[in-house]
Amino acid sequence: MKVLIVHAHPEPKSFTAALRDQAVATLEAQGHEVQVSDLYAMNWNPVASSNDFSSRENPEYLVYALEQRLGVKNQSLAADIQSELDKLLWADLLILNFPIFWFSAPAMLKGWIDRVLVSGVCYGGKRFYDQGGLSGKKALVSVTLGGREHMFGDGAIHGPLQDMLRPILRGTLSYVGFDVLEPFVAWHVPYISDEARQAFLEDYRLRLEHLGDEQPLEFPRLSQFDEQLYPLRQPAAADA
């Protein structure tokens, strides 16, 4: 299997970086090929702008997604985007590895998503969810956070973690076609003992070794909707 790890943390010696290193070591030991995009180390530019295209369909008015489509066709995407897109298309498994910032991903990673998941390749027209351009690939989100586990869930102070990660799990990864696996979560990371952190690293190793056995999370399938994307009537029990 070919694996792309996109890592976003400003501190090279962070615990989040230790999770990245654990993933590289575990997956390579299993014979998988791994590439890492370390966004801070690459000084990745997260800002989507007109500079992302060496030529434009419409130089007067920027419609970013339309220019992405043309950029793919004409090979006029900026070199840093094209390079990341090539890695993404090469990979069978994408791992997004990051600390939670404000119930979300660091801006650096958000900007990777904005610029690299280009229209025309990853989605476009009615190519989304199970029909998305990256269908057939898997994705795993690996996160660290400050909160404790009991603060997340139904009725908990912050609500369910999957609701918090919805823009990434559903609105991004599932939308472009990935089979999205249950996130790996290291809770309360800065406040626990070294031993507890080592235990998270060990849990992650075991999880990665058996990733192939996992069922993806459930997300919509276009076959559940009509031409206008209204939900099709589910057969009532009496109809079945």
Ligand X SMILES: Cc1cc2nc3c(=O)[nH]c(=O)nc-3n(C[C@H](O)[C@H](O)[C@H](O)COP(=O)(O)OP(=O)(O)OC[C@H]3O[C@@H](n4cnc5c(N)ncnc54)[C@H](O)[C@@H]3O)c2cc1C
Residue 5 makes contact with ligand X by CB under 6 A: no
Residue 204 makes contact with ligand X by CB under 6 A: no
Q: Of 59, 146, 160, 212, which one interacts with ligand X (CB under 6 A)?
A: 146
Q: Of 88, 140, 145, 180, which one interacts with ligand X (CB under 6 A)?
A: 145
CB of 93 to ligand X, least distance (A): 22
Query: Residue 47, Cβ neighbours under 10 Å: how many?
Result: 11
Beta strands in the chain (DSSP E): 2-7, 33-38, 93-99, 138-144, 179-180, 184-186
The footprint of ligand X on residues 19-78 (CB under 6 A) is: none
Nearer to ligand X, 22 or 37 (CB): 22
Q: Of 3, 4, 16, 87, which one interacts with ligand X (CB under 6 A)?
A: 16
Residue 18 makes contact with ligand X by CB under 6 A: yes
Q: Of 47, 198, 212, 221, which one interacts with ligand X (CB under 6 A)?
A: 198
Q: Residue 41: helix, strand or coil by DSSP?
A: coil
Buried b (16+ CB within 10 A) or exposed e, 53-86: beebbeeeeeebeebbbbbbeeebbbebbbebbe
* DSSP class per residue in 95-138: EEEEE-BTTB--HHHHHHHHHHS-BTTTBBTTB-GGGSTTTT-E
Q: Which of these ranges, 64-72, 80-88, 122-130, 143-151, lies near ligand X under the rule CB under 6 A?
A: 143-151
Residue 189 makes contact with ligand X by CB under 6 A: yes
Separation of alpha carbons 143 and 145, rounded Å: 7
Contacts of 114 (CB under 8 A, 6+ apart): 46, 48
The footprint of ligand X on residues 90-109 (CB under 6 A) is: 99-103
Residue 144 makes contact with ligand X by CB under 6 A: yes
For binding to ligand X (CB under 6 A), which residues are involved? 9, 11, 14-16, 18, 99-103, 144-147, 189-190, 194, 197-198
